[in-house]
Amino acid sequence: MSDLDRNYASPFGRAAGRVDAAAVDAGLRAYMLRIYNYMSIGLAITGLAALGIYMGAVTPDAAGAAARIGKVYLTSFGVAIFASPLKWVFMLAPLAMVMVISFGINRLKPATAQLLFWAFSALMGVSLSSIFLVYTHSSIVQVFFITAASFGALSLYGYTTKRDMTGMGSFLIMGLFGVIIASVVNMFLGSGIMGFVISVIGVLVFAGLTAWDTQRLKNDYIYGYASQGGDIAERAAITGALSLYLNFINLFTLLLQLLGQKE
């Protein structure tokens, strides 16, 4: 933050400029902490929702089960969530809600935006609950901690690096669209090799996006929200948390595809 003396010049000289820089620096730390807190709460809601849905969907009672998927016996609720057309609603609902938050954020009150973010996190948990049917619980936990450590390191790099990562943004977004298109195509092809390649490239893309988004959020505050504050900064913190949350979730699911042990 030493360069803030230049960015926030003061008519009272260099000493006052340093005071301004210190104030912006303190505000930046509080702003980023708020983003990470929102993201962490969202991840906790997602995890609890996923686990709760799974626990309500399975039963050890083979005789009373409504259906069976692999070695897992499902309740009637589990059939509705995992084996009926309703599953597509829960898969697509998070996408619809993230679009509502992203495009409508400027018209929402911060409290409303928070509630939508929590609701989105819960829906994402419902959508992700099926991983408990596919992967062993121990491997899910292991991959989660691997993701958390990787995400933390990448976000720290984005926050502290002096390198300007602005130019990477368009390249990473193009890579993201490429991964999405390839994933849709592979849904019909069912190629294991193609799926592996998509996962590897996807991990690299979201690793880059994590560092890039962190630096972007930092710069957005320094050059914009530091002088605005209030509801504008609060809404920006929520959308920032949403960006980092999505990076984390996608990084986790892709690493799970590469490293997770199937049931």
Q: What single string gives the DSSP state of each residue in 53-118?
A: HHHHHB-S-TTT-SEEETTEEE-HHHHHHHSSTHHHHHHHHHHHHHHHHHHHGGGS-HHHHHHHHH
Number of folded domains in the chain?
A: 1
- Residue 66, pLDDT above cutoff 90: no
Q: Output the pLDDT for position 12.
A: 33
pTM listed for this prediction = 0.87
Q: 70: which residues sit within 8 A by CB, 6+ positions away? A: 133, 263
Residue numbers of the domain that contains 152:
4-259
Tell me the per-residue pLDDT of 152-173, one tens digit each, with 9 for 90 and over.
999 999 999 999 898 888 899 9
Cα(122)–Cα(70) distance, rounded to whole angstroms? 26
Amino acid letter, residue 12: F
**58: β partners:** 74
Residues 6+ apart with CB under 8 A from 11: none
Q: What is the pLDDT of residues 201-216, one digit of tens each?
A: 999 999 999 999 999 9
